[in-house]
Amino acid sequence: MSDTDPLWRPAYIGIGSNLGNPVRQIETAIERVADIADTRLVAQSPLYRSAPFGGVEQPDFVNGVLAILTRLAPTELLARLQQIERAAGREKGGVRWGPRELDLDLLVYSSVSFKSDDLVIPHPGIGERNFVLLPLRDLAPDLIIPGLGRVSGIPVNGKEPAISRID
């Protein structure tokens, strides 16, 4: 697959923030994702507020999921998402599961399974993280994730911190 494929492929992006004004950070990031060349924003999930994952003391997160169509290869799409994160103030090499202005994760890319040093598709945390699973369920309950099955059939993790939909 080249950097730009003639076929439009569906992909899903996890989006989150817990610094500054998280809702505004997410709104700005959505605008920037919509501006990526050879990519079309199709839909966005409702937003959720959730306690932090990973045990680092920090503010609650606001999370959601975006559905896009893209002609970019997964690695090129990831590079564009990382540019958006840097523009929002995210620094590489921060604390793992620590606070951040913006987090964009490529969750699913078509029916592709892919693994490199920089990218794993589908994202390995989908089935373990309610802040990803619940917005993805709102957006695409019938989506089949390679290795996990239909989104609506993936059980919610009862051990995860509390999560609530922002209306």
- Report the catalytic residues: 90, 100, 103, 105
- Alpha-carbon span 55 to 51, nearest angstrom: 10
Three-state secondary-structure class, residue 74: helix
List the structure tokens of 151: 């989104």
Distance (Å) of CA 97 to CA 45, 111, 166: 22, 27, 22
Q: Are 133 and 157 in contact (CB under 8 A)?
A: yes
Strands 39-44 and 120-121, sheet pairing: unpaired
The Cα 56–Cα 38 span in angstroms is 37
